[in-house]
Amino acid sequence: MSFNKSRGGAAVLGGGDELVLRGTISKKWTLLLCLASFCIGLIFTNRMWTMPEPKEIIRRSALEVNKMNLVSGDCAPKSVMEQKDIIGEVPRTQDAIQALDKTISNLEMELASAKASQEESELNGAPLSESTGKRRYFMVIGINTAFSSRKRRDSLRATWMPQGEKRRKLEEEKGIIIRFVIGHSATSGGILDRAIDAEDRKHGDFMRLDHVEGYLELAAKTKSFFVTALSMWDAEYYIKVDDDVHVNIATLGNILAKHRSKPRAYIGCMKSGPVLAQKGVRYHEPEYWKFGEWGNKYFRHATGQLYAISKDLASYISINQHVLHKYANEDVSLGAWFIGLDVEHVDDRRLCCGTQPDCEWKAQAGNVCAASFDWSCSGICKSADRMKEVHQRCGENDSAIWSAKF
């Protein structure tokens, strides 16, 4: 029995040892598992933080470069297209600027014309200017004259230039202004100026310019005439004529009336004379070298005995008077001022007829001349003595001006 007890005790004791052993083994395995887990975690973590191999870096860089190339490739065509669009816009922008400049220039002309009309214009019987509401005239005729030309002026007053009441009637009923155009002497207020003042008090037919008289200053005088006439009278046309030329006013008016639809009309006998380079000769051109080789001709321009310009061109001269270049000859200067402009050059040979028998034959044939002179003298030769004869043979009927409808 003791043996059994002993075995039973042993058995009991064996069971306890087994329990202790199981607990010990369990703790060891737990520790081992923890260590194993820690090692595995450490290995995994180290692998995550390991630097990539060079091949991977190269592979990544290549991919990034490709991506950037794709992006830049997408943008480059857009930049080229945008540049092309910008370049294409340049001509359209230039055209728009030119159109705007032209519009501004036209507005400046209209503004200058509006400012030019003075209160002295009478409102008796003539149409009013739509832009200013003031008296509108048909034409202003400026007769270029000199201090020494008293006899020439008297010959015109006795023939084709109406005087006194007839001249006032011509202005009121027909809208035609006629004045002798003259500046002042080098010694302003001297005997020459006083003589003109006395003549003007008697006839009242002068337009005085702020200009020093002189043969070599004819271009400057012509410019001053247009500027002054524009400031005094609002007219459709402004005409310059020399005091040794015969004029039929009604015929001149009929010619001008046909060109009313042309806003920038330059009317006269167009010519292209030689550029005279030799010093000492009449009409010598000091700036001959500007017109090309020796022996060249001028561009087309109206002969200086008589020419007419429309209001827009007179306004252009007024606006740009300080930058318009003057050549030796005033008719060449005027033609040069219009070079490059959109101007209608009207060549009418009735504005440069010869004296009798030329103008006489044409008058008998019903083709009355508007202006007559002798080409050899650049005017009527000995005009103070011959003007009355030319008027009798080549002049229009006295009633022509009063029956004319412009």
- Rounded to 5°, the CA angle 383-385-391 comes to 70
Q: Which residue has the higher pLDDT, 367 or 78?
A: 367
pLDDT in tens, 288-334: 999 988 888 999 999 999 999 999 999 999 999 999 999 999 999 99
* Whole-number pLDDT of residue 396: 95
Pair of tokens at residue 21: 């052993």
pLDDT in tens, 119-174: 434 444 445 555 556 689 999 999 999 999 999 999 999 999 999 999 999 999 99
Q: How far apart are CA 329 and CA 397, in angstroms?
A: 35
* Whole-number pLDDT of residue 132: 53
Model pTM?
A: 0.70
CB 185 within 8 A of CB 193: yes
* Whole-number pLDDT of residue 117: 47
Q: How far apart are CA 267 and CA 17, in angstroms?
A: 143
CA-nearest of 151, 142, 143 to 382 is: 151
* Whole-number pLDDT of residue 50: 47
Instruction: Provide CATH code, domain 137-269+303-403.
Output: 3.90.550
Q: Please report, as a single letter, which amino acid is at residue 192.
A: L
Q: How far apart are CA 402 and CA 396, in angstroms?
A: 12
- Strand arrangement, sheet containing 176-184: 206-212, 176-184, 137-144, 235-242, 301-310, 265-271, 344-347
Summary mean pLDDT of the chain: 81
List the chain domain ranges: 137-269+303-403
Angle at which helix 383-394 crosses helix 150-157, to 10 degrees, equals: 20
- Evaluate if residue 187 carries a pLDDT over 90: no
Q: Please report, as a single letter, which amino acid is at residue 385.
A: D
Pair of tokens at residue 182: 């003259």
Least confident of 15-29, 175-189, 377-391: 15-29
Q: How far apart are CA 27 and CA 33, in angstroms?
A: 10
